Amino acid sequence: MPNAESPGPSTTRHTQTAMLAERAAVLLLLALLLYGVIRVLEPFGLAIAFGGFIVIGTWPLRQAMVSRGIPRGIAATLMLLVLILSVAIPALALTPELGGQIAHASKVGRELLAGLPEAAPAWLAGLPLVGGIASDWWPQLLHWQGDFGALLAPYTGRITSLLVDIGQAAAASVVQILLALIVATAFWVSGDKLGDQVTDIAGRLAGETGRNAVMAAEGAVRGVAWGIVGTGIIQAMLMGIGLAIAGVPGVGVISFLTLIFSISQILGPLVVVAWLGAAAWLYSEGQLAWAIFMGLWGLIMVSGSDNIVRPLLIKRSSEMPLSLIILGVFGGLIAFGFLGLFIGPALLAVAHGLLKAWRAEEAPTNP
């Protein structure tokens, strides 16, 4: 039987060209598929990310419930109810009091404007940058005599536009939060399988190093979540204790707002405004000693606790150096907004884990 002839150069080139064309077509189809998936999930990207961060932060509680024999669906429902009620109940309970406090603040503001002296104080006029502006506005403030309507009349258009923008942003935020809660509930139900799949994919791509990177990212996200929420709760409690001791009204409202300000991070500086405002109110009431107490309590106990409690809580769930965690939190916040608080530390945790694995590999020996 004669031997089969070996393919010629032209046949080989034709075969290679066909294989390259097939691979290019497969890559193109995969790219189109990936693009379609991204476009479909793009409207829900923020909700999926936020829901995932919620689940990672609360996963130990969910696991504790499941380990005690509670079905996954019921555990997820209970987690959802606790999360909603923990925000809804305080908000509904404090809404009437908040309205009264706003009305009281408006009344105090009108009284202050109505009782202004004829000339601007010397210390106000001598302030750098703003002293001249304040002196120029002083006659107008005297003319309005506490009439906020006349004060704000020239800016009605801008204020209306700003309120519309705020309303639209608030509505969009509410929708995203509701979607995030739905995503979180789904993850609470089937998060075990999803976590195993992510870990398996990482292991297939990078072996043990990939699996360790996933665990590092999970620990970083959970640590940041615990640090943010835990610090907010502690600051709100300390604020409430200080207000109650000093006899400041509206303890519940101010404490709840402190919790919101602290957790939001973006509004974090308003925590200082809260206890400074309480101290200023005490001073205006002639209670100098309590005003000094409130100022020191807010500076040392409320704002100072942020520098102690947050790093301790974050460090408990992550093996990454605290300096990298802090850089990830603030860098992520600047780069990606609120979600960057979690994205930044997670990215640095993965990079740190990969760098550690690379350094731990044995250097190849020269033959």
Q: pLDDT tens across 311-360, in order?
A: 777 777 666 777 777 787 778 777 777 667 777 777 777 777 777 777 66
* Contact in structure between 227 and 311 (CB atoms under 8 Å): yes
Q: What is the pLDDT of residue 249?
A: 81
pLDDT, tens digit, for every residue of 265-302? Answer: 666 778 888 888 888 888 877 788 888 898 899 888 88
> What count of Cα atoms within 13 Å lies in the side-chain half-sphere of residue 148?
9
Alpha-carbon distance of 217 to 226, in angstroms, equals: 14
> Is 70 exceeded by the pLDDT of residue 21?
yes
**Per-residue CA distances from 365 to 14, 120, 209, 341 (Å):** 42, 80, 22, 42
pLDDT, tens digit, for every residue of 141-172? Answer: 666 655 555 555 566 667 667 666 666 665 66
Q: Which two tokens stand for residue 80?
A: 């959802």
| 30 backbone dihedrals φ, ψ, rounded to 5° | -65, -40
Alpha-carbon distance of 13 to 171, in angstroms, equals: 61
Q: Could you tell me how many helices (H) and strands (E) the chain has, helices first?
A: 13, 0
Out of 7-11, 87-91, 137-141, 255-259, least confident range: 7-11
| 7 backbone dihedrals φ, ψ, rounded to 5° | -65, 145
Q: What is the DSSP letter of 43?
A: G
**Which residue is it, tokens 């973006």?**
266
- Which of 246-270 are b and which e, b meaning 16 or more Cβ less than 10 Å from the residue's Cβ? bebebbbbbbbbbbbbbbebeebeb
DSSP 270-325: HHHHHHHHHHHHHHHTT-HHHHHHHHHHIIIIIIHHHHHHHHHHHHHT--S-HHHH
Region for 162 from its dihedrals, namely left if φ exceeds 0, alpha if ψ lies in -120 to 50, beta otherwise: alpha
Among 254, 291, 286, residue whose Cα is nearest residue 270:
254
Q: Which two tokens stand for residue 163?
A: 């309120």
Alpha-carbon distance of 310 to 322, in angstroms, equals: 11
Q: Global pTM?
A: 0.62
What amino acid occupies position 239?
M
Q: Which two tokens stand for residue 172?
A: 């969009």
Among 290, 288, 281, 234, residue whose Cα is nearest residue 101:
281
> Is 50 exceeded by the pLDDT of residue 310?
yes
Alpha-carbon distance of 320 to 133, in angstroms, equals: 49
Among 328, 327, 331, 322, residue whose Cα is nearest residue 347:
328
